[in-house]
Amino acid sequence: MGNCLFTSSIGRKLIMSISGLFLVLFLLFHMSMNLAAVFSTEAYNAICEFLGANWYALAGTLILAAGVVVHLVYATVLTLHNRSSRGSQRYAMTAEPEGVTWASRNMYVLGIIIVLGLLLHLYNFWYNMQFAEIIGNHELGPFPPADGAAYIAALFSSPVYCIIYLVWFAAIWFHLTHGFWSAFHTIGWDNQTWLPRLKRIANVVATIVFLCFALVVIVFYLRSLGVCGGSCAGF
């Protein structure tokens, strides 16, 4: 039974689904945390100070990293297995099955884009903040490790970084619109009553995540231009 979980196609899909849902939960937490920066930079920095390099933050980081690795590894294994199973037929021109979305056909490519964006994000924030605290070098970055709002403001004063992050968020949106409901489908929540509901919920969750993350980027970019100043601080 345990061996089948790791070697069978269904078992691998189950592991990928569970790890994916775990990552969605973290994404919602991270989204909520980032929104605090829009309304109060002091509150956001207080959260950064609270998390810091404490044992629970480090444990959470390790668990998150494990979730990302597991999800990526099993997605890669399943993708390679599916391509191998199709053989030369994958090059044949066939009619697109009804109901198959662009996101479902490009989940692995979207995943790669998301991972690349994550690596850039880790360099911009985690390396200068939590990692700086771990090694005890508070001068590793241009700002103190707990001054997360300063890092956000500096990064999103650049239109290039704003575009890169918005593209990254768009890839996450597409990935979630299919991956969220597909994970529940794999787990077994696939009856005709709930499946259409889960697809709608997936679109809602993906859109909320995209809009909230995009809001942080846009607000801080406008602040860097002096367009909204204090008027953006408390809406």
Q: What is the CATH number of the domain that holds 108?
A: 1.20.1300.10
What pLDDT score does 91 carry? 39
Query: Has residue 96 been placed in a domain?
Result: no
- HEC sequence for 170-224: HHHHHHHHHHHHHHHHHHCCCCCCHHHHHHHHHHHHHHHHHHHHHHHHHHHHHHH
Within a domain: 133: yes
**If 0-12 CB within 10 Å is exposed, 13-18 middle and 19+ buried, where does residue 78 land?**
middle
Running DSSP on this structure, what letter comes out for residue 125?
Answer: I
Evaluate whether residue 66 is within a structural domain: yes
Task: Please tell me the predicted confidence (pLDDT) of residue 55.
Answer: 82
**For 142, phi and psi rounded to 5 degrees?**
-75, -15
Q: Kindly state whether residue 97 falls inside one of the protein's structural domains.
A: no
How many structural domains comprise the chain?
A: 1
Classify 60 as helix, strand or coil: helix
3 state SS of 15: helix
Per the domain annotation, does 212 fall within a domain?
yes
Instruction: Judge contact between 74 and 19, C-beta under 8 A.
Output: yes
pLDDT digits (tens, 9 = 90+) for 74-119: 888 888 887 776 654 543 444 455 567 888 888 889 999 999 999 9
| Beta carbons of 194 and 29 less than 8 angstroms apart | no
Identify the segments of the chain with pLDDT beneath 70: 1-7, 85-99, 228-235
Position 131 scores a pLDDT of: 92
Phi, psi dihedrals of residue 169, rounded to the nearest 5°: -65, -35
Q: Give 96's DSSP letter.
A: P
In a domain, 160, yes or no: yes
Q: Torsions phi, psi of 71, nearest 5?
A: -60, -45
Domain housing 201:
2-91+102-232
pTM of the model: 0.87
